[in-house]
Amino acid sequence: MKIVIASENQGKLREIQAFFQGMPIRVIAQNEFLVPSVEETGLSFIENAILKARHAAKHSSLPALADDSGLVVDALNGAPGIYSARYAGLDASMPRNIQKLLEDTSHIEDAKRTAHFYCAIAFVRHENDPIPIIACAKWDGMLLRESQGDKGFGYDPLFWIPTLNATAAELDTEQKNQLSHRAQALRLFVAAFSEAGLV
């Protein structure tokens, strides 16, 4: 089965492609179909994931899977949340987003720097699929005061996992693909996908 991945984020694409290795599923990046970007107008991760999946299915005429994920900082009432990729502005770079997050959390004491990564995955068989498959998961951790590690992408260098004594940016791909919010959501998705008789 061919599935279009509704993302232009190379880090996400690598993680999703690695997850599906060995399965009878061929994942194709949406840029192979020249799928234009879609404005993420949803107010939740789930709404944005469904929006992106439907958009990719419409432009590729194939089933599509979308992921909407982000960092949720408890002391910031859930920010950056669905705005994680554009926290410092629409065209802000990831280093700028990280800088803004560090500025916004500089006053928060260490014990209250709790955070989690959240991932919502939506799969549609076609653009107007009335029953999308949805899977969600989160990965708990703490927010550091400076970046640590050079693997991963996004906010990984700030996301400390106390049980591992490491940041997400210090984990190798195999470790991250076992533990991350996206890995957990993908496992739930595959179970639901199988239950629906699609694989």
Which residues carry a binding-site annotation for substrate? 7-12, 69, 153-156, 176, 181-182
E strand or H helix at 17, and its extent? helix 10-19
Q: Which of 121, 133, 123 is nearest to 4 (CA)?
A: 123
Give the active site residue among 67, 68, 104, 129.
68
Torsion over CA: 29, 79, 115, 106 (sign): positive
Active site residue 110: no
Torsion over CA: 155, 160, 166, 172 (sign): negative
Answer for the pair 65, 16: CB distance below 8 angstroms, yes or no. yes
Rg, Å, the chain Cα set: 17
Query: How far is Cα 37 from Cα 6, in angstroms, rounded to an integer?
Result: 9
Answer for the pair 155, 98: CB distance below 8 angstroms, yes or no. yes
Which residues are designated catalytic? 68
